[in-house]
């Protein structure tokens, strides 16, 4: 087992910098997720680690062994690296049975027949696919193929495990099951793993740490809690979970509390560790679940502020209501157990827990 160090990785496709100065250190046995929108460079990063694409700059080492070094021109071909990569498409070889697929990496390593048989049985049992050993890939469901692909990679005990959206081809139900199963497997095996996904639930529930990527760059690197509760910028806040963004101006600062003036002139108070100076333009970000409908007659106080909004639409989404609101021209999303009555809703917003970003952002959806 080994740790993985990526330093200053750059990969260009013509003019496009698909991966732009990415540095990640994955500790031995750690499970790190690359998360980001489509085309942000996740697969390219993974391919660089596996040796499928030669990067342009940077350095990749696994357990002290140099895989790639741009300045020295070191480049190990994929077959000399010993990584394990599970493809989004699974890439099972259609002309081989499940057992043959799994046997292939062992044959390459000249593992003796008896030993090979034992290890194939062992790994197929691990992924609960033993009864299917003699089937061909096209006779398997998507979920089963995914397990075989994983087995084929685990069987040779790779130094690090790279998973490229392994669950994205499964339907919602199967995906949930596969995620739980993967989480169990992960604690059992304790492999150094990079997991690629654009599904935030997978990222949050499986990872030790998450790397959020945006157009080839690292937007934030941290634990799931860090990322969710303290997003580094509006992009991360928007990408992880649902976030409301309100443009505002700092009206005044006193004792770690900033008074903000919203677009339509209403005022809210926010606790801020490093409050911006008065007059600055800021963006207020908070999760729908952080606010609630204010009780009748409730007003602003030291705990939170009350703001008035207009109801645009409401829809029932099973057990709860999603309400689209308008606040001085800006949209807001609210989740409530009972639908609001009337056109106006008064909201209560806590003084702490919301985040202030400097400047005006246009991320808001």
Partner 1 sequence: MSSTTAEPGAPAAPGRFPREIPIQYGMAALVVVLVAAPLVPILYQSFLTGALYDRDAQLTLGNFARLAQTEGFGTVLWNTFLLAALSTVVAQFFGTAAAILFGRTDLPGARVLGELFLWPIYLSALVLSFGWYSIYGPAGYVTLFWQSMFGEAPWNLYSIGGMAVIAGVSQAPLAYLYCLSSAGMTDPTLEEAARVSGSGTFRTLWRITLPLMMPAIAYSAVLNFTIGLELLSVPLIFGEPAGVTVLTTFLYNISATSPRPDHGLVATAAALMLVVIVFLVWLQGRLLGNTRRFVTLGGKATRPRPFRLGGLRWPFFAICVAYVVATGVAPVSMLVLRAFTSFLSPMIPLADVLTLENFEILWREPVYLRSITNSFIVSLVGAAGATALIGMIALIVHRSEFRFRNALHYTALFPRAIPGVVAGIGFFYAFALLPGLGGIRNSIWILVIAFTMRFIPTGLGAVAPMLLQVSPDLDRAARVQGADWWTTTRRIMAPLMRPALVACYTILFISFFKEYSTAIFLFAPGSEVIGTALLQTWVQGEVGVVAGLAAIQVVVIAVCITTARAIFGVKLHG
Binding residues (CB under 8 A) for partner 1: these are: 1-2, 50-52, 54, 63, 77-85, 87-89, 91, 93-95, 104-105, 108-112, 115, 119, 122-123, 126, 152-154, 156-159, 189
Q: Which stretch binds Mg ion (CB under 5 A): 37-45, 64-72, 186-194, 357-365?
A: 37-45
Q: Which does 121 bind (CB under 5 to 8 A by kind): Mg ion, partner 1, ligand ATP, none?
A: none
What is the distance between the alpha carbons of residues 108 and 104, in angstroms, rounded to a whole number?
A: 6
What is the distance between the alpha carbons of residues 224 and 58, in angstroms, rounded to a whole number?
A: 27
Q: How far is CA 85 from the centre of its chain?
A: 18
**Of 63 and 353, which CB lies nearer to partner 1 in the complex structure?**
63
**Of 215 and 322, which CB lies nearer to ligand ATP in the complex structure?**
215
Q: Which does 89 bind (CB under 5 to 8 A by kind): Mg ion, partner 1, ligand ATP, none?
A: partner 1
**Of 87 and 321, which CB lies nearer to partner 1 in the complex structure?**
87
Q: Which does 168 bind (CB under 5 to 8 A by kind): Mg ion, ligand ATP, partner 1, none?
A: none
Q: According to the binding rule CB under 5 A, does residue 220 interact with Mg ion?
A: no
**Of 13 and 263, which CB lies nearer to ligand ATP in the complex structure?**
13
What is the distance between the alpha carbons of residues 331 and 312, in angstroms, rounded to a whole number?
A: 9
Determine contact, residues 148/128, Cβ cutoff 8 Å.
no
Q: Which does 80 bind (CB under 5 to 8 A by kind): ligand ATP, Mg ion, partner 1, none?
A: partner 1
How many residues interact with Mg ion (rule CB under 5 A)? Answer: 1
Q: Which does 122 bind (CB under 5 to 8 A by kind): ligand ATP, partner 1, Mg ion, none?
A: partner 1
Look-up: residue for tokens 């081989």?
96
Determine contact, residues 152/101, Cβ cutoff 8 Å.
yes
Determine contact, residues 36/46, Cβ cutoff 8 Å.
no
What is the distance between the alpha carbons of residues 220 and 214, in angstroms, rounded to a whole number?
A: 9
Q: What angle do CA 43, 51, 191 make, to 5 degrees?
A: 75
Provide the 8-state DSSP code for 319: S
**Of 72 and 110, which CB lies nearer to partner 1 in the complex structure?**
110
Q: What residues make contact with ligand ATP under the rule CB under 6 A?
A: 13, 16, 18, 36, 38-44, 198
Q: Which does 276 bind (CB under 5 to 8 A by kind): partner 1, Mg ion, ligand ATP, none?
A: none
Q: Which does 39 bind (CB under 5 to 8 A by kind): partner 1, ligand ATP, Mg ion, none?
A: ligand ATP
Alpha-helical runs (H) found in 207-332 = 224-229, 234-239
**Of 43 and 97, which CB lies nearer to ligand ATP in the complex structure?**
43
Provide the 8-state DSSP code for 341: P
The DSSP H or E segment spanning 336 is strand 330-336
Closest CB 66 distance from partner 1, rounded Å? 12
**Of 218 and 354, which CB lies nearer to Mg ion in the complex structure?**
218
**Of 195 and 286, which CB lies nearer to ligand ATP in the complex structure?**
195
What is the distance between the alpha carbons of residues 323 and 359, in angstroms, rounded to a whole number?
A: 27
Closest CB 168 distance from ligand ATP, rounded Å? 8
Closest CB 171 distance from ligand ATP, rounded Å? 18
- Between 181 and 200, how does the x/- string for binding to Mg ion read (CB under 5 A)? --------------------
Closest CB 22 distance from partner 1, rounded Å? 20
Q: According to the binding rule CB under 5 A, does residue 43 interact with Mg ion?
A: yes
Determine contact, residues 150/123, Cβ cutoff 8 Å.
no
Cα-based distances in Å from 93 to 58, 101, 116, 138, 280: 33, 7, 19, 10, 59
Q: Which does 94 bind (CB under 5 to 8 A by kind): ligand ATP, Mg ion, partner 1, none?
A: partner 1
HEC per residue, 98-143: HHHHHHHHHHHCCCCHHHHHHHHHHHHHHCCCHHHCCCCHHHCCHH
> What phi and psi, each to the nearest 5 degrees, are found at residue 349?
-120, 125
Applying CB under 5 A, which residues contact Mg ion? 43
């Amino acid at each position: 087992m080994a740790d993985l160090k990526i330093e200053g990785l750059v990969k260009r496709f013509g003019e496009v910098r698909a991966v732009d100065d990415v540095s990640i250190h994955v500790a031995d046995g750690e499970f790190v997720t690359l998360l980001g929108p489509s085309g942000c460079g996740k697969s390219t990063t993974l391919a660089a680690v596996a040796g499928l694409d030669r990067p342009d700059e940077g350095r990749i080492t696994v357990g002290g062994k140099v895989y790639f070094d741009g300045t020295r021109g070191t480049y190990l071909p994929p077959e000399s690296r010993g990584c394990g990569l599970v493809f989004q498409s699974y890439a099972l070889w259609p002309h081989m049975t499940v057992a043959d697929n799994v046997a292939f990496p062992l044959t390459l390593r000249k593992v003796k027949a008896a030993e090979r048989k034992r290890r194939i049985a062992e790994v197929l049992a691990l992924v609960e696919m033993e009864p299917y050993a003699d089937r061909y890939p096209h006779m398997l469901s998507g979920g089963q193929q995914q397990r075989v692909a994983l087995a084929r990679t685990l069987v040779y005990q790779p130094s690090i495990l790279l998973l490229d959206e392994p669950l994205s081809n499964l339907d919602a139900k199967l995906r949930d099951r596969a995620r739980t199963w993967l989480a169990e497997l992960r604690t059992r095996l304790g492999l150094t793993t990079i997991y690629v996904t654009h599904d935030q639930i997978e990222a949050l529930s499986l990872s030790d740490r998450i790397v959020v990527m945006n157009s080839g760059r690292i937007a934030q690197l941290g634990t799931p809690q860090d990322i969710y509760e303290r997003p580094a910028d509006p992009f991360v806040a928007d990408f992880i979970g649902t976030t409301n963004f309100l443009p505002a101006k700092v009206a005044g600062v006193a004792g770690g509390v900033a008074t903000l003036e919203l677009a339509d002139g209403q005022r809210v108070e926010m606790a801020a560790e490093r409050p911006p100076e008065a007059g600055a333009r800021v963006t207020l970000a908070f999760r729908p679940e952080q606010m609630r409908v204010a009780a009748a007659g409730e007003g602003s106080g030291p705990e939170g502020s009350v703001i008035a909004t207009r109801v645009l639409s409401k829809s029932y989404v099973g057990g709860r209501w999603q309400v689209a609101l308008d606040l001085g021209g800006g949209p807001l999303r609210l989740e409530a157990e009972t639908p609001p009555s009337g056109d106006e809703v008064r909201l209560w917003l806590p003084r702490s827990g919301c985040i202030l970003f400097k400047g005006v952002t246009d991320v808001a959806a």
